[in-house]
Amino acid sequence: MSDYRFFQPPPRLLLGPGPSMVDPQVYLAMAAPIVGHTDPAFFGVLQDVAALLRIPFGTSNDFTLALSGTGTAGMEAAVVNFVERGTKIAVFNNGYFSDRLIDMAERQGAEVVKLVKPWGEVYGDEEARAFIEREKPEVVAFVHAETSTGALQSPKAICAAAHEVGALVIADCVTSLGGMPIDLDANGIDIAYSGTQKCLSAPPGLAPVSLSPLALERLRARKTKSVSWYLDLKLIDEYWGASHRYHHTTPINMFYALREALRLIDVEGLQARFDRHKLNHRAFVAGVEALGMTMHVAPEHRLWTLNTPVLPEGVSDVELRKRLLHDYGIEVLGGFGPLAGKVLRVGLMGASSSRNSVLLLLSALETSLHALGHRGERGAVEAAETIYNEA
């Protein structure tokens, strides 16, 4: 007789930087029976996923699909397919995930140039343009929504300047897809990638990717093979395309889940979804400010989806997070790198972005901070309620 019992996870309210809460409808979709990865019915699922992904990406790109792998697989696919040995890539470096882009590009043998800013700051139009005009790279990469800092980078000037020098633009949209406008086509982003476990509110395991017509043309014109067989977008394109040429066995039930998560976005309406994320962000900020806390990122550059309140002096993020998890079942995470011990990272993404989640968290924060010796102001819930009542 086995000593192992069926695993029953503890109840959690996931309000960290990901994964987010998953809608019950998505769990139901995952439980559907498996069909083969070359079954015509499954290719219908893939077609639906592609069509539905174009909505939050804000694109008409033919090449829009989801890779088998987490958001990091999307990042690596973007790099290995468009960066070769000797390629000059310019990276806007202001957080952990731009650091990761640099590491991946260096592993390809690329010539990496970077414009560095402190974590939490973003780039103005003129300095972005000046950097690109000076370096004249072949590829430009930036993080649209930086999960390590809570900062949002405007894409327009970066993309315009990059195209003027003939460069392709890679954008990390892992923490913005489905929660904030991306507008790939309007902004001119050529290669975008994301993950399923944040604003889309599906389980982790797939990486949405979209390529502009120019990026697709350059991909197909590439003479050398990608160093990664598994992430070779030419090969994956053949599986998703009309020939359905076998590449790998896809995680079928994960695609069921993604299709349902995207369908729910379509049902809610994209603008309504953006409005919901923005309102819950505003209410949360009002609540933490009522407690005497400040936000790490300037108001005009804040993500609605990932919030970084600065910890009060003398409060340990480890002790605070332990108390939130143990007493309330609420998961939030702390900062890392230069922000370690200085901020919390609070995700209000997808199904986790709700009035109920915000009010529960603020109430728990207020009580926990007081228990840890913070004698700041009270009234976090009341401040948030004011925002909701005015909306």
pLDDT in tens, 244-286: 999 999 999 999 999 999 999 999 999 999 999 999 999 999 9
Domain limits, the chain: 24-266, 270-390
pLDDT of residue 146: 98
**Angstrom distance (rounded) from CA 18 to CA 210:** 21
* Spatial separation of the C-alpha atoms in residues 306 and 119, rounded to whole Å: 14
Tokens of 357: 């989640």
Confidence tier at 74 by pLDDT (50, 70, 90):
very high
- Confidence band of 212 (pLDDT split at 50, 70, 90): very high
pLDDT of residue 361: 98
Tell me, what's the pLDDT at 103? Answer: 98
Residue 377's pLDDT is what? Answer: 78
pLDDT of 384 above 90: yes
Nearest to 29 by CA among 324, 356, 333, 264: 264
Task: Tell me the average pLDDT across 284-310.
Answer: 97
Task: Collapse the DSSP code of 92 into the 3-class scheme (helix H, G, I; strand E, B; otherwise coil) and give the result.
Answer: strand
pLDDT digits (tens, 9 = 90+) for 304-360: 999 999 999 999 999 999 999 999 999 999 999 999 999 999 999 999 999 999 999
Q: Exposed/middle/buried for 228, CB within 10 Å: 0-12, 13-18, 19+? A: middle
CATH for the stretch 270-390: 3.90.1150.10
350 DSSP assignment = G
Predicted pLDDT at 374 = 86
**What CATH number was assigned to the domain covering residues 24-266?**
3.40.640.10
Q: What is the mean pLDDT of the chain?
A: 97
DSSP 3-state percent helix, strand, coil across the chain (nearest 5): 45, 15, 40
pTM: 0.97
What is the pLDDT at residue 378?
Answer: 81
pLDDT band, very low/low/confident/very high, at 1 (cuts 50, 70, 90): confident
- Out of 87-91, 194-198, 279-283, 374-378, which region has the weakest mean confidence (pLDDT)? 374-378
Are 185 and 155 in contact, with CB atoms under 8 Å apart? no
